[in-house]
Amino acid sequence: MNTLQNKVALITGSARGLGKAIAERYAALGASIILNYSRDKASTEEVVKNITGMGARVIAVQADVTKPQDVARLFQEGLKAFGKIDIVVANAGIELIQLPVTDFTEEQFDRVFSINVKGSYFTLQEAARHIADNGRILYISSSTTTSPVPGMAVYGGSKTTPKYLVEILAKEIGHRGVTVNSIIPGPVAATGVFSEMSTGDPFYQELLNGSPMGRLTTVDDVADIAEFFASDLAGFVSGQHLLVNGGSIY
């Protein structure tokens, strides 16, 4: 069994969805957790309660990843609380789907790229500055970066850019024993836009029809891979992008 005893993990956007699942998985494996949220304090308090119930140490830091000064403060508060950071997961992001290229606005473009690109870049930058030697850095990408889907131009583009940074960073700090990888989930059930979408929705059905296994990705599917990348098993895997979609065309 993998263990993260005596490790400290920082996960952005960890009030719900994938970030929550990864934070709770790491806590179950013994890690101390630095949660991050932007606005949803109530959901964050629930995650804190869950993690405390596992016997793990946890703090929650409100920080807007689109503001580099907030990202820097997030890391500083984590270091102040635990003295080190061994694992960083750049997870915070938003979706924009079913919007043709001819229809997106400048406001939509700026918001999505501010969170998904700028937020991820500065999170990864702070991770590079502060992560302990032999640490693990993960970026949560999207299968829209590998299988272009109509209506996903802005979202898929915003998730593509940080993947390039992952490969650069793996080369720049690999000498410290730090690995840098990305996880590329397919559409994740019950999270983001799919938390409010009926399974009978034509788009949902289209995604199911494209999956050989007849289902969407789950948060546990992604947490499994996040566990692998954070463990000693992945100590010589770096600069890689692992697709987690069950062989789906999406």
Is residue 14 a contact partner of residue 47, using CB atoms and an 8 Å limit?
Answer: yes
* Ordered alpha helix ranges (H), the chain: 17-28, 41-53, 68-82, 106-113, 119-130, 153-173, 202-209, 219-230
pLDDT tens, residue by residue, 31-41: 999 999 999 99
Domains of the chain, by residue range, sit at 8-244
Q: Domain 8-244 belongs to what topology?
A: Rossmann fold (3.40.50)
Q: What is the pLDDT along the chain (250 residues), one digit of tens a residue?
A: 689 999 999 999 999 999 999 999 999 999 999 999 999 999 999 999 999 999 999 999 999 999 999 999 999 999 999 999 999 999 999 999 999 999 999 999 999 999 999 999 999 999 999 999 999 999 999 999 999 999 999 999 999 999 999 999 999 999 999 999 999 999 999 999 999 899 999 999 999 999 999 999 999 999 999 999 999 999 999 999 999 999 999 9
Taking the C-alpha atoms of residue 80 and residue 141, their distance in angstroms, rounded to an integer, is 29
pLDDT in the model for residue 58: 98
Is residue 75 a contact partner of residue 130, using CB atoms and an 8 Å limit?
Answer: yes
**CA angle (64 as vertex; 61, 67 as ends), nearest 5:** 125
Output the DSSP codes for 49-74.
HHHHHTT--EEEEE--TTSHHHHHHH
Percentage of residues of the chain with pLDDT beyond 90: 99
pLDDT tens, residue by residue, 51-96: 999 999 999 999 999 999 999 999 999 999 999 999 999 999 999 9
Cα-Cα-Cα-Cα dihedral of 216, 239, 18, 60, to 10°? 180
Q: What is the pTM of this model?
A: 0.98
pLDDT in the model for residue 68: 98
Residues marked active site are found at 141-142, 155, 159
